[in-house]
Structure formats: structure tokens, C-alpha cells
Amino acid sequence: MKAGVVVFPGSNCDHDCYYALNSIHGVDTEYIWHKEGSVEGFDLLVLPGGFSYGDYLRCGAIAKHSPVVDAVVDFAEKGGHVLGICNGFQVLTETGLLPGALIRNKNLKFICEYVSVIVENAKTEFTSYYNDGEILDIPIAHMDGNYFIDEKGLNDLLENEQVVFRYCNADGEISEEDNPNGSVYNIAGVINKKGNILGMMPHPERCCEPLLGGNHGYYLFESIKNFLKGV
């Protein structure tokens, strides 16, 4: 399998994703420059966190016009696996590959800290190494991570088991108090209906080694690596 980490101007978790995939998980990984028009030869694309184009407009709004994004959309529509983390998630909602939108945190401030999220769907190809109801300690770092979706959209998500991660407390209980950014239904990550595009605000690449205080993100990369190993 081969993974590609898309680099927009202003991406700043590109090196971290590369390190997690390549150095920790041993996956053949390459950077893909945003001016590239093709993503041929890749099995997994990661849209990393950061501030693409400075995020001076709406987060991810300009990145969506990069040449590479057309290629990513094409790749995803053909069933290719795409993981959007933080700013990458924002790009995925901007392009319409994932439903909903990410708006400013309810406290209007940037928030960086370890949070608890509960695995709502361990049947996806990104989460098969987890179990339903498992609680992950995982860092968030964002200013605009407040997931918004209308009621109809939320019902669709629930019906199709598209909510993958939700913010919770250390015991797995879900309440507004443990919702760091104000997301609808405490949503931290969603997947598309087909199950090949995952977007999440928390950073799994930041918790892949005990040295950094946690390794709960490790298993996300292992899951998708295991799924794609045959290709």
C-alpha cells in the first residue's frame, strides 16, 4: 500500500502525518504538493491539519480550489480512502465530500488539549482495531472545530451509522460539559455513507507513541493499514 500526504500552503501537520505513517507504521508514504493534478498510484490520501492558505477566509475554503483537490474528489468518488484530520476535515466538508460544516468553537478561542472521545462505529475500515464504546484519549488543536449539521442531516448520519467519534468524559458519558467546541451531538468525526472518507477534528497522529503521552491514535492507522495491506 502507498499513502500520500497532501501539502497545501499552510499545512503544518503534514510532517506529523508523514512521520506517523512512515516511521511508526512503516507505510510507504509520499508528500503530494497541492499543485499536483493527479494522485495516481496512492491507496490512502491524508489531508493533514494546519492553516491552509492561512485560513484567512473560512477554513478550508480556499484549499478546496487547489488543483489537487479535484484529483482527491475524483479518487474518493472512485472509492479511494481519504482521511481528513482537523484542517483536512474542514477541506472535506468544504468540498462536500463529507456533510456538515465546521464553525468557530463556542468559546471563540483556540483549544489545544487532550480530550476523551468515544468510538461510535468500530466497523469502518479506519476504526476496525477499536471496539464500539471504547474511549480514546486524543488531542484536539483547533479554533474552528464546532461541527454543525441540520436536523435532517444529523438524522441521516445516525441512520447510516456515519458518526464515528463523539466527545465524552473519561467514563464515556456524553454531555454538553464534555463538548469542547460546541459540536452538534458532540460529533468529533464522521464518515461518508460509502465508508471510504473519514473526517475528524482530533489528531490521531499526535498520539501514536507512549513517549508523547498516549498511543490511542496508533490503532486508527493500523486499522486502515490492515485493510489496505493487500492492495
Partner 1 sequence: MGVYDKFKYPGVNLKVAMEMGLKEDEYKNACDILGREPNYIELGVITAMWSEHCSYKSSKKHLKKFPTEAEWVVQGPGENAGIIEVDGKICACFKVESHNHPSYIEPYQGAATGVGGILRDVFTMGARPVCAMNSLRFGSLNNDESIHLLDGVVSGIAGYGNCFGVPTVGGEIYFHETYQKNPLVNAFALGLVDKDKIFYAKAEGKGNPIIYVGAKTGKDGIHGATMASEEFSEESESKRPNVQIGDPFKEKLLLEACLELMQTDYIVGIQDMGAAGLSSSSFEMASKSGTGVNLDLERVPVRETGMTPYEIMLSESQERMLLIAKKGFEDKVKEIFDKWDLDAEVIGKVTDDGFVRLNWHGEEVASLPAESLADDAPVYDRKYAEPEAQKQIRNFDPNSIDDPGGYPAILARMLSNPNIASKRWVYRQYDHMVQTNTVFLPGSDSALLRVKGSKKGIAVSSDCNGRYCFVDPYEGGKAAVLESALNVAVSGARPKAVSDCLNFGNPEKEGVMWQFVKSTDGMSDACKVLNTPVVSGNVSFYNETESKAILPTPTVVMVGVLDDINKRIPSFFRKRGSNIIIAGNFKPDISASEYLYKIHNRLEGSISEIDLQLGSRLIDFLTEAAEKGIILSAHDVSDGGLSVCLAEMCFKEGIGASVNINRDIRTDELLFGESMPLVLLEVDDFHLKGVESLLGNNNILFEKIGKTDGDSLIIRHNGHLVIDEKVEAAAEVYDESLGELMQ
Write out the residues near partner 1 by the rule CB under 8 A: 9-10, 12-13, 15-16, 19-20, 23, 49-51, 53-56, 109-113, 139, 141, 143, 203, 205-206, 208, 211-213
Residue 19 or 148: the one with the smaller Cβ distance to partner 1 is 19
CA distance 119 to 130: 7
Of residues 168, 203, 208, 216, which has the active-site annotation? 203
User: Is the torsion defined by CA of 103, 165, 221, 76 positive or negative?
Assistant: negative
CA distance 130 to 117: 12
Other C-beta atoms closer than 10 Å to the C-beta of 102 total 28
Of residues 205, 207, 208, 216, which has the active-site annotation? 205
CA distance 82 to 198: 6
205 is catalytic: yes
Residue 43 or 142: the one with the smaller Cβ distance to partner 1 is 142
Of residues 13, 17, 59, 86, which has the active-site annotation? 86
Residue 99 or 139: the one with the smaller Cβ distance to partner 1 is 139
> With contact defined as beta carbons under 8 Å apart, do 181 and 202 qualify?
no
What are the residue numbers of the active site?
86, 203, 205
